[in-house]
Amino acid sequence: MKKIVIAGAFAGLGLLVACQPAAQRAEAPKAEKKKLSAEEKFKIALFKNQDKWQKACSNPTQLVPEGIDIDTFKKEMLATVKYPEGGVMGDWKKGEKLFGDPRKQGKSLRGNCYACHCGDPTVIACGNIGPSLRGYAKRGKDPKETYIRIYNSWAQNPCSVMPRLGYHGVLKPQEIADIVAFLHDPSSPINK
């Protein structure tokens, strides 16, 4: 509720500023720019790791060639997805290894997820080609959808640069379920 009130106040303020004549606006004293400490800047670089331009460039919908029917594309890709017997939520501890920790120096990089995503907040060597996956459990996503994304990202986002790890046999269905648990389990370090 509080949030709504605050958001409303900001929206109101924006409207007021927008309605001001240009001359008046130019004279208005500039709002003092808050100086950020080195630590704050570091945190912004880490947690808001994907700015709007990177997001735009990583947007797969713009990569689909003209004349391709996206629904057919997705349907065919979805039909390739195979599921593990025990369900899509596996063992997060195994998933953590498969997700790939750069500190392990190549010994556990099969998923290579850190190349494009941030994950465990203590791992700071992470890419921003894909959105940060920190705190993933709180986003309310369906684990089955996450499973599909990792198995064959093109079933959800045709032409995404995200590798189709199950489809190409890089990861087995059970291994993908372990990674899904690493993303969704509240006790996983990615959600700390």
The residue (of 59 and 187) whose beta carbon lies closer to ligand HEC is 59
CB-based burial label for 189 (10 Å; 0-12, 13-18, 19+) = middle
CB of 111 to ligand HEC, least distance (A): 3
Instruction: Determine, following the binding rule CB under 6 A, whether residue 163 of this chain makes contact with ligand HEC.
Output: yes
Cβ at position 56, least distance to ligand HEC in Å: 11
Number of other CB atoms surrounding residue 93 within 10 Å: 14
Structure tokens that stand for 102 in this block: 């750069």
130, 162 Cβ separation under 8 angstroms: yes
| Residue among 112, 123, 167, 174 that touches ligand HEC (CB under 6 A) | 112
**Cβ neighbours for 176, distance < 8 A, ≥ 6 positions apart:** 84, 88, 90, 147, 150, 151, 165, 166
Q: Residue 28 or residue 166: which is nearer to ligand HEC going by CB?
A: 166
- C-beta of 7 vs 161, nearer to ligand HEC: 161
Residue 30 vs 52, nearer CB to ligand HEC: 52
Task: Give the C-alpha separation, 123 to 115, whole Å.
Answer: 12
Residue ranges in contact with ligand HEC by CB under 6 A: 58, 60, 99, 111-113, 115-117, 129-131, 133, 146, 149-150, 153, 157, 160-163, 165, 179
